[in-house]
């Protein structure tokens, strides 16, 4: 009980410790996670009439503007002492960089290859894994994975909806343990699932992407990398309150904007340990146990993936967090420039000694006549050049490029200083930072995907659906090149590899004709 765990129940988390975990998570972690999502999404919030702005909405990134631009409190609707809210300019330079990173990571399907020694077994494993990923969204599943990981710094995958064991595919307990030759003989005598059986069974296997705001890992006090418990705490809207899109669901979940009129909400908490799965309903202080069952897999079916490694921390590094100060500075300078342009871009005229000067419009063909020899018309105003302001904005954008490793060129914006990009090598040099970061992220996500596959195969083995041993659960991932490639050159290289003795299956996988993840 020293760490809030009940050892008599096999590392079961008691309710008092569970409520303490939830309170600490909501107090210390949710505000930070909500800010990360807000700066990425920059969603619009409706503004009530009469709040000092001509716009009917307010953007999330406006919270990072200085007081002189944001104005006074909402009830005042303007700047202190001015009575009016200044014009603000918000340019979201974070979202397109995150999307570019996701495109370079999972813009095209990768190839999944089983490392099982038995070719028939390897084919079954590949078929089963490919079908499960396809059922759960295919490439879109991995893009959502990379998006949430980039925003929060880490993302988890939970295995759900595993069907009951199939009677015709049962085998001995020795095989589940994956031990020695006895297990090998048991598998040889067991029923080998057909292609149709594997495809049909995979339809009900669910992989749920767990976003950071609702995940509360309970870490081993002696090893920050190991979870001894896993808590999911979230609000489930009623039938009419369900969000229509993925981004809306995420925004509502993180920011807590669930309209009460859309339906009742259910606060639900799931507690996963190696021995049991418990479900509670109700908020902290009112939680009641509604379901409890044995965890038949003997392990917590969750895979944790870091976006970028952060030594000695469970969470990884977020792509959004280092960009927030620079984004605030950019929005501030753009807003200042907009206000300066508003005041200075229109020419104005000061007339002295001219009768009814204000009653006549200023325009082509207009003339003023006066008998006053001292009458004058003085022109002033106009947008004067401000090189220091322009240079500062350019430097901020370059700092965003360096911090994120994503340049406008990666998004298709060409500039005069790019030079000659007629070769693939020249393009690689220009995008060196982005390609290096993509490779780093592929290491983290590749290991995570391999662990997801191992988790699926462990569950398939324990349920008797697809008997396999530990050494047969290895997976190899062949990533496509993030850059455009010359198809003719790729075919020539493939032909040379075949002549050198590279297996035809491997060559076809590299060309994209094998199994896709």
pLDDT in tens, 174-214: 333 443 333 444 454 456 778 888 888 888 899 999 999 99
Q: What is the largest CA-CA distance in the chain?
A: 118
Within 10 angstroms of residue 221's Cβ, the number of other Cβ atoms is: 11
Asked if 309 and 300 count as a contact pair (C-beta separation under 8 A), the reply is no
Asked if 166 and 464 count as a contact pair (C-beta separation under 8 A), the reply is yes
Which of 39-48, 151-160, 441-450 comes out lowest in average pLDDT?
39-48
Which pLDDT band, with edges at 50, 70 and 90, does 233 fall under? very high
Residues contacting 185, CB < 8 A, separation 6+: none
Please report the pLDDT score of residue 318 as a whole number. Answer: 96
H-assigned helices in 268-375: 324-344
348: nearest Cα among 390, 382, 317: 382
Which pLDDT band, with edges at 50, 70 and 90, does 4 fall under? low
175: nearest Cα among 453, 455, 469, 460: 469
Domain boundaries, the chain: 95-322+434-484
Query: How far is Cα 91 from Cα 408, in angstroms, rounded to an integer?
Result: 14
Beta-bridge mates of residue 288: 281
Query: How far is Cα 377 from Cα 392, in angstroms, rounded to an integer?
Result: 36
Query: How far is Cα 269 from Cα 278, in angstroms, rounded to an integer?
Result: 8
Beta-bridge mates of residue 514: none
Query: How far is Cα 483 from Cα 148, in angstroms, rounded to an integer?
Result: 23
pLDDT in tens, 58-111: 899 999 999 888 764 443 444 444 445 678 899 999 999 999 999 999 988 898
Burial 36-71 (b: 16+ CB within 10 A, else e): bbbbbbbbeeeeeeebbbeeeebbbbbebbeeebbb
Query: How far is Cα 158 from Cα 12, in angstroms, rounded to an integer?
Result: 19
Cα dihedral sign, 243-247-252-254 = positive
pLDDT top residue among 226 and 182: 226
Please report the pLDDT score of residue 416 as a whole number. Answer: 55
Residue 342 in tokens? 């508003």
State residue 417 phi and psi, 5-degree precision.
-85, 0
Nearest-5° angle of CA 430, CA 436, CA 442?
135
Query: How far is Cα 421 from Cα 432, in angstroms, rounded to an integer?
Result: 13
Residue 292 in tokens? 């409890």
Please report the pLDDT score of residue 511 as a whole number. Answer: 72
Q: How much is the average pLDDT of 348-373?
A: 80
State residue 461 phi and psi, 5-degree precision.
-70, -45
Query: How far is Cα 73 from Cα 127, in angstroms, rounded to an integer?
Result: 59
320: nearest Cα among 79, 64, 50, 107: 64
Which pLDDT band, with edges at 50, 70 and 90, does 512 fall under? low
443: nearest Cα among 149, 208, 161: 149
């Amino acid at each position: 009980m020293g760490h809030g765990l009940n050892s008599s129940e096999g590392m079961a988390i008691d309710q008092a410790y569970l409520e303490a975990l939830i309170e600490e998570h909501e107090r210390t972690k949710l505000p930070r996670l909500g800010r990360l999502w807000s700066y990425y999404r920059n969603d619009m919030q409706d503004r009530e009439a009469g709040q000092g702005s001509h716009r009917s909405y307010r953007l999330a990134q406006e919270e990072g503007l200085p007081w002189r631009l944001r104005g006074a409190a909402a009830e005042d609707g303007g700047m202190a002492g001015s009575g009016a809210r200044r014009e603000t300019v918000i340019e979201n330079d974070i979202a397109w960089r995150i999307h570019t990173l996701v495109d370079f990571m999972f813009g095209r399907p990768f190839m999944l290859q089983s490392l099982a020694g038995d070719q028939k077994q390897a084919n079954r494993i590949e078929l089963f894994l490919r079908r499960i990923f396809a059922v759960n969204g295919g490439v879109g599943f991995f893009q959502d994975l990379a998006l949430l990981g980039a925003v929060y710094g880490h993302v988890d995958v939970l295995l759900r909806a595993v069907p009951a064991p199939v009677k015709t595919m049962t085998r001995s307990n020795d095989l589940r343990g994956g031990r020695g030759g006895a297990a090998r003989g048991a598998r040889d005598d067991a029923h080998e699932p057909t292609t149709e059986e594997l495809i049909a069974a995979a339809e009900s296997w669910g992989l749920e992407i767990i976003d950071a705001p609702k995940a509360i890992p309970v870490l081993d006090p002696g090893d920050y990398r190991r979870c001894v418990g896993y808590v999911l705490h979230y609000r489930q809207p009623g039938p009419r309150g369900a969000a229509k899109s993925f981004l809306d669901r995420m925004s509502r979940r993180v920011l807590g904007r669930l309209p009460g009129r859309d339906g009742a909400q259910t606060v639900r908490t799931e507690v996963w340990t190696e021995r049991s799965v418990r479900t509670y309903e109700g908020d902290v202080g009112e939680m009641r146990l509604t379901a409890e069952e044995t965890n038949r897999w003997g392990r917590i079916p969750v895979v944790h993936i870091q976006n970028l490694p952060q030594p000695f921390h469970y969470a990884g590094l977020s792509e959004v967090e280092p960009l927030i100060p620079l984004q605030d500075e950019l929005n501030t300078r753009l807003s200042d420039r907009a206000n300066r342009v508003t005041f200075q871009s229109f020419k104005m005229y000061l007339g002295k000694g001219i009768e009814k000067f204000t009653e006549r419009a200023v325009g082509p063909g207009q003339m003023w006549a006066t008998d006053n020899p001292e009458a004058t018309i003085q022109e002033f105003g106009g947008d004067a050049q401000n090189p220091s302001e322009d240079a500062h904005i350019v430097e901020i954008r370059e700092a965003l490029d360096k911090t994120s490793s994503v340049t406008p060129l990666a998004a298709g914006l060409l500039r005069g200083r790019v030079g000659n990009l007629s070769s693939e090598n020249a393009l690689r040099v220009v995008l060196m930072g982005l390609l290096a970061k993509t490779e780093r992220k592929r290491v983290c996500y590749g290991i995570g995907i391999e662990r997801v596959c191992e988790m699926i195969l462990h569950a398939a083995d324990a349920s008797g659906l697809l008997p396999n041993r530990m050494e047969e659960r290895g997976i190899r991932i062949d990533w496509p090149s993030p850059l455009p490639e010359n198809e003719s050159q790729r075919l020539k290289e493939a032909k040379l590899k075949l002549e050198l003795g590279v297996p035809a299956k491997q060559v076809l996988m590299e060309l994209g004709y094998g199994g896709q993840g």
